[in-house]
Copies of this chain bind each other. A is one copy, B any other.
């Protein structure tokens, strides 16, 4: 039930890009992201490239190059991102909408485990499909303003 490091890094990178997002085509250097979020640069490169193929970010090459969101942050959901870098959100693939695979149980339509897992899937999908990069950035801003201890109460 876990997010890989890769997935976490992807979200962290998008948090940075979301914060710096502007309508003009200003970009953020990969080094900058790597520094801010403490992510191995070479690894981050791969991840951003991957996000590029999903049209979540876009890049500019050359000396003043870097990355930026390919769309406004309100238009990028965490579900989309996680699905692309991690695959299915469902705990078992036989309840996944876009990564469906038949499982080995004798009768899928009457599998009780499947019915529970479907609920679990829906629960998590509901969360990550609702939250956009913009929302995540808003939370970050809010959390930064608060005094240190206070944050724990609202999580």
Interface residues of A (CB under 8 A from B): 1-3, 8, 11-12, 15, 37-38, 78, 82, 86-93, 95, 103-106, 109-120, 123-124, 126-128, 131, 136-137, 139-140, 143-144, 146, 148-149, 151-152, 154-155
Q: Closest B residue to A99 by CB, please name it.
A: B2
List the B side residues contacting A118 at CB < 8 Å. Answer: 155
CA distance A38 to B90 in the complex (A): 22
Task: Determine how many copies of this chain the complex contains.
Answer: 2
List 11 A-B residue pairs with CB atoms under 8 Å apart, sorted by A's residue number: A1-B1, A1-B89, A1-B91, A2-B2, A8-B103, A11-B113, A38-B105, A91-B124, A111-B143, A112-B143, A116-B139
Q: Closest B residue to A148 by CB, please name it.
A: B109
CA distance A104 to B144 in the complex (A): 17
List the B side residues contacting A89 at CB < 8 Å. Answer: 1
Q: Are A139 and B115 in contact (CB under 8 A)?
A: yes
Q: Are A112 and B136 in contact (CB under 8 A)?
A: yes
- In the assembled complex, the CB of A20 is this many whole angstroms from the nearest CB of chain B, namely 15
Q: Closest B residue to A94 by CB, please name it.
A: B8
CA distance A105 to B117 in the complex (A): 31
CA distance A109 to B102 in the complex (A): 41
Q: Closest B residue to A149 by CB, please name it.
A: B109
